[in-house]
Structure 1
Amino acid sequence: MRRMIPGSPRNASRARSRRSGNIVVLTALLITFLFALVAFAVDLGYVSRTKTQLQSAVDGSALAAAIELGDGLGFGPKLTPSTAAAFGRTAATYVADKNPNGDQNSTTIQTATDMQFGQYDWNAASGTWEKRWDATPYNLVKVTVRRDGAGSKGSGPLPLLFAPVIGYKYSNLNETAYAALRVGVGIQLKPGSGLTADVLPIALDLGSWNNLMAGIGSDIYAFNTTTKAISSGSDGVKEIDLYPYGVNSLPPGNRGTVDLGDPNNSTADLKRQILHGLNETDLSYFGGKLTTDNGPLYINGDTGISAGIKADLEAIKGQPRLIPLFTAVSGPGNNATYTIVKFVPIRILYVQLTGSNKRVIVQPCPFVSHAVIPGNAPIAVDSYFTPPRLVK
């Protein structure tokens, strides 16, 4: 028998062969590991990008749906909750369809199951915001978009690119967004925006407004929520006359115009504010905002309503405006001081400031504006609202 001699060429050759075989195995394992790592990284990025696309789609869809809820809020002729929700579903679907995600050119919403409507309301007792689903009128919408099930085309699980090689074919994804119109507690403009706030410089006493909310008043004009037309007849919503009766004796509670800006407001200022709203300069006299959240405002005014603003009031008939409510007025004529405690939304239906039967007939209405300051206040029948914002 031939004995192998340590260190011989044959032994060295065999050792090299074994090492080469080990390297091949290790290389194959390393390549597999690296491929899996690259596949994981690529698919992780793909999944992350798809999640971002889905979140963008659902945020836009929720905001679009919430916009449609504005005409169903507040008091007065408005959309029914079911109509507002139907418009909201249509708007959400339209926006989602314009947003791609993953391997799909559009995003699908299962509106029957993945959209909910309700109220986003402040609970003063607990000091928290509450979501109350199916409570009306709606100011809150929840939307979910999915890539996690066997729903309609476009909502199935996201097919992965490389991970199937290592046994992972799909990723299940879903994203949710909430959008709400918040209750307002005042008016403020973004500095330098050049925008205005639709506040009418005519004050009404709180007692008369509360009577109106209780159903006391006339109903001889109708507002069409579709055509925005005003006609004679009933629309089921009571009206009130802003014109200040008893102007000669000037009793407490007498109505009139208020200086929502320079205390020396002229008729030209009133006409501008009626037609175009308050600007930044007007609000600067009140520290940049009008709010009764921290107590009453004491504002200069002029009892009575001049025929000089008749044409301007006529020009804004049917348009939503806020008006201030007061609890007291002191001083005669243009030296009057009004104690303003609240702002409420109205629209003008009829104006007559000449002759013996002077009237400025208004009714409550929905009001949504970029200038509204959101606050911690519960929804009331005469609330006004911010445009929709994403909420948690």
Structure 2
Amino acid sequence: MDEVLLRSLMPSVLTVLVRRGADFAAAEDAVQDALVEALRAWAAGPSPSPSGGGGPMRDPKGWLITVAWRKFLDAARSDAARRRREDRVQDEPAPGQAPAVDDTLQLYFLCAHPSLTPASAVALTLRAVGGLTTRQIAQAYVVPEATMAQRISRAKRTVSGHGVSPARRARGSLDRPGDVATVLRVLYLVFNEGYSGDVDLAAEAIRLTRQLAARIDHPEVAGLLALMLLHHARRAARTASDGSLVPLAEQDRGRWDTASIAEGVGILQAALARDRLGEFQAQAAIAALHADAPTTEETDWVQIVEWYDELVRLTDSPVVRLNRAVAVGEADGPRAGLAALAALDASSPSSSSKGRSLPRHSAVAAYLHERDGDLETAARLYAEAAHNAPNLAERDHLTRQAARLNARRSR
């Protein structure tokens, strides 16, 4: 049995338990235990189901619900406080076909609870919606498993009591502590973690966003999915065989995934046609223009600047303004790009806050100064950017850029 298929069933299984009256934290533990048992059962081959009927392969979702519910009740009976809760829930329903109701959408919003930190929201989403184990999540984020377990445990305690109960549904509540924008930011954080350990978080984020898009008709959900597909399409060309970074201008575009690009562009066009522009659609439009260009020289930088202007209007983000300065430098020349960068610096209360302290600020300034012919300043700024780089691959790349310019100057 495919583990990915099993994990795709976890959100709906979890919401069934919560809807029956189980506390979110206890229900999530029971579902994870059921997943482990399911993997063991499938590895061992066909065997009787907990209900005495067919094996788990016959109805995976129903089997998981039955096992998870029994595990929840077992845990409830072992504790006096949970025994009182057990008295308030219904008796175990008769085994049968899994219910058609799917509250997975509510689960996305629950995991984006505004009381959670971004890191906790990401971890809880990967655990409750993605079905990943604590070990897998810890390995992906390169933290001790105990640390991740504590983070997830705190997050579950925070959202407990905000579930998808029948009473809330009867009152008309959508049970959405977070909003769409928060859910999308959490998914984008997952995507940007990329790959570490045995879990490909970029692929996992795409899977979860596809799942969300199938449950909610929202142009920004489609915009995020398109953005992820367009970025992911360039993944194979982003690093050389030795692991070093390959800038966009130097990437072998023949290695880009044309099927993912075509899918992303199609999803984006449908979203833009609805005339409800959001920041993820605008970012996807920029990515689509890069993907559409056969070469760097043929990139439509003028249109990219226009899309960055839309992004500035939507977000007024200093990071967006920084990226816009690069695009302006390509469209109108390096001095125009440096002027845009200076405007960003001037917009901050001090030169060390909003502008020059931005990640990549020194790298962007170095690139524009190099294009303008000021190799000495560019080399110094590349070295400064390398010192502040967030990871080893980027640090090595920027260090090589500084060394390259210093070598040119010494000739």
TM-score normalised by structure 2 residue count? 0.20
Which structure has the bigger radius of gyration? Answer: 1
TM-score normalised by structure 1 residue count? 0.21
**Which of structures 1 and 2 has the larger relative contact order (alpha carbons within 8 angstroms, sep 6+)?**
1
Higher strand share: 1
